[in-house]
């Protein structure tokens, strides 16, 4: 780890929208309407969905990161391509040779060319359509001029334009297809496309640096481990590679959310903690749901107290995970709560004041959670029900939330009901490792940056210490989920500028070392 307060090589610098996968798929016609008993925070570089409270004026509090990239690339510089991808990389049955169109994008504006062995910066797409990420991922566009790098962006199989059946709904309900929807197949896709690009451009000696954030950050680190002959190094932003198989305590995520609120305001934290029982008490009264609906100015009458509580649960986790400058939404919410408390408001009025502080004043507010699930939620539901089993929960007194421990038996039953198969909770650590990561990776891993912001709840499952001289942890005390991989802005705080500088200098060192070795071989 690196630190802004110590010499460079000393210990240094202190992973949606959060979207809770409250839907699961079913073999029946009620596919979009069934609920899972476990609410698992979805990974994501940016807050893609509007899980904010939307008021009647149409104004909503948006957590989406906007790129203020300093590069001068325009839309015309990003060229779209489709690759005839192999459906199944790991079998030789006739159906394994089925092909589908996989979407990728290239920007060659700053590339120094094959003759100079100029590098390739490759973004590994995650659980969303690629086009929604390209504008936000500043790591490639901001650093391509410095490295004279080719930029390659690859969409994850089954998402966006890269779906074998053309529809996520069709794919996740098709028993013959969805088994090919997993991380190992995705990594093989990336390898095939990157080798294809390098061959078509005669860029055989161009080093490749892969990058990703959140789930994509996990993919980037795993790609470097599985395909070191393809990628020289990996930049894994906010990648909770240790949130599997009970390596990280299951309450880690919500404990960090709680810590973020406590740091912002002790009164705000206590108000949130007290509000759950108060909501239930009001709901239990005659016409209690009407009282709640009026108190929170709901555009639609609340059907149960859980409608409101689920939304608040989601919002608190979301603002903590994406608690980025300059807005700092946790602080913004808590300021509204504290000002209402100073005016003598009761607990629920304080919570509502926080909502208004985030979303602005309106005639009414919408508290629905994803009534029309996106393809990302449908896809991520399958992924979490197959291999991406992250045991996230919380006990009765260890967070500001009501108890909701992760129950693998119940979770497995819900997945069985949805897909007819059981999840494999130990497969990720079996295939990629995780337990005793420092001891194991030190033997064979190299050239991976694990970056984190310690205000991100997913940082509790991240790598926060150096594993070797080239398996490096870079983190900042005030950072949020995937903040460093997004576009740089002139208004970025000094600590974020410093974090990015360190990361780029590490990668620059890998590339210089590669060129030195290439010269010796030549």
Which residues belong to the active site?
Answer: 214, 456, 481
Q: How far is CA 433 from CA 244, 385, 426, 458, in A?
A: 10, 19, 10, 18
Distance CA 520, CA 506 (A): 22
Helix (H, G, I), strand (E, B) or coil at 356: helix
Tell me how far apart the alpha carbons of residues 225 and 213 are, in angstroms, rounded to a whole number: 16
CA distance 502 to 104: 29
- How far apart CA 363 and CA 369 sit, in angstroms, is 20
Do residues 300 and 366 lie in contact, with contact meaning Cβ atoms separated by under 8 Å?
Answer: yes
Quick one: tokens of 100?
Answer: 């589908």
Cβ-based burial of 58 (10 A; exposed 0-12, middle 13-18, buried ≥19): exposed
Structure-block tokens of residue 422: 């059981």
Q: Centre a 10 Å sphere on the Cβ of residue 321 and count the other Cβ atoms it contains.
A: 35
Q: Give the burial string for 489-514 (b: 16+ CB within 10 Å, else e).
A: beebeebbebbbebbbebbeebbeeb
Cis? peptide before 320, omega within 30° of 0: no
How far apart, in whole angstroms, are the C-alpha atoms of residue 357 and residue 349?
A: 12
Phi and psi at residue 476, to the nearest 5°: -125, 145
Between the alpha carbon of residue 422 and those of residues 158, 408, 425, the distances in Å are 20, 11, 9
- Alpha carbon dihedral 294, 297, 299, 304, in 10-degree steps, equals -60
Per-residue CA distances from 390 to 222, 243, 247, 407 (Å): 16, 6, 10, 11
Tokens 């790609």 identify what position? 223
Q: Give yes or no for a contact between 430 and 240, defined as CB atoms under 8 angstroms apart.
A: no
CA within 13 Å, CB half, 347? 15
Tell me the sheet residues that pair with 472: 449
């Amino acid at each position: 780890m690196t630190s802004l307060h110590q010499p460079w090589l000393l210990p240094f610098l202190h992973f949606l929208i959060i979207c809770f996968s409250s839907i699961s798929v079913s073999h029946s016609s009620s596919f979009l309407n069934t609920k899972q008993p476990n609410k698992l925070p979805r990974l994501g570089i940016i807050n893609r969905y509007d899980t904010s409270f939307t008021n009647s004026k149409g104004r909503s509090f948006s957590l989406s990161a906007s790129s203020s990239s300093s590069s001068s690339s325009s839309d015309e510089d990003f060229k779209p391509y489709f690759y005839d991808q192999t459906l199944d990389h790991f079998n030789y049955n006739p159906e394994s040779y089925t092909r589908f169109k996989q979407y990728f994008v290239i920007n060659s504006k700053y590339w120094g060319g094959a003759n100079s062995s100029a590098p390739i910066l490759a973004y590994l797409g995650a659980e969303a359509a690629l086009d929604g990420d390209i504008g936000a991922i500043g790591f490639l566009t901001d650093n391509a001029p410095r490295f004279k790098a080719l930029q390659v962006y690859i969409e994850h199989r089954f998402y966006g334009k890269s779906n074998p059946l053309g529809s996520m709904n069709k794919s996740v309900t098709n028993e013959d297809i969805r088994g090919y929807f997993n991380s190992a197949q995705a990594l093989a896709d990336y390898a095939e496309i990157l080798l294809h690009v390098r061959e078509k451009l005669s860029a055989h000696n161009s080093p490749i640096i892969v990058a990703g954030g959140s789930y994509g950050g996990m993919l980037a680190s795993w790609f470097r481990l599985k395909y070191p002959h393809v990628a020289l190094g990996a930049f894994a932003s906010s990648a909770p590679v240790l949130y599997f198989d009970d390596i990280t305590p299951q309450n880690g995520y919500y404990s960090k959310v709680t810590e973020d609120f406590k740091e912002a305001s002790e009164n705000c934290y206590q108000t949130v903690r007290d509000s759950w029982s108060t909501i239930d008490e009001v709901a239990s009264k005659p016409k209690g749901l009407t009282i709640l609906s009026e108190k929170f100015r709901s555009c639609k009458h609340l059907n149960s107290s859980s409608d409101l509580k689920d939304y608040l649960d989601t919002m608190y986790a979301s603002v903590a995970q994406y608690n980025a400058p300059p807005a700092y939404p946790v602080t913004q919410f808590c300021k509204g709560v504290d000002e209402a408390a100073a005016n003598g408001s009761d607990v629920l009025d304080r919570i509502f004041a926080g909502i208004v502080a985030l979303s602005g004043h309106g005639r009414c507010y919408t508290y629905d959670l994803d009534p029309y699930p996106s393809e990302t939620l449908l896809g991520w539901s399958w992924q979490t029900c197959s291999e991406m089993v992250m045991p996230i929960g919380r006990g009765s007194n260890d967070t500001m939330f009501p108890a909701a421990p992760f129950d693998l038996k119940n979770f497995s039953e819900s997945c069985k009901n949805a897909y007819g198969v059981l999840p494999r909770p130990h497969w990720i650590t079996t295939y990629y490792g995780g337990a005793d990561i420092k001891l194991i990776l030190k033997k064979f891993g190299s050239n991976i940056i694990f970056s984190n912001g310690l205000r991100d709840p997913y940082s509790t499952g991240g790598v926060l210490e150096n594993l070797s001289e080239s398996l490096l942890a870079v983190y900042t005390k005030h950072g949020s989920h995937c903040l460093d991989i997004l576009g740089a802005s002139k208004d970025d705080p000094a600590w974020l500028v410093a974090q990015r500088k360190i990361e780029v200098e590490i990668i620059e060192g890998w590339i210089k070392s590669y060129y030195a070795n290439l010269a010796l071989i030549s």
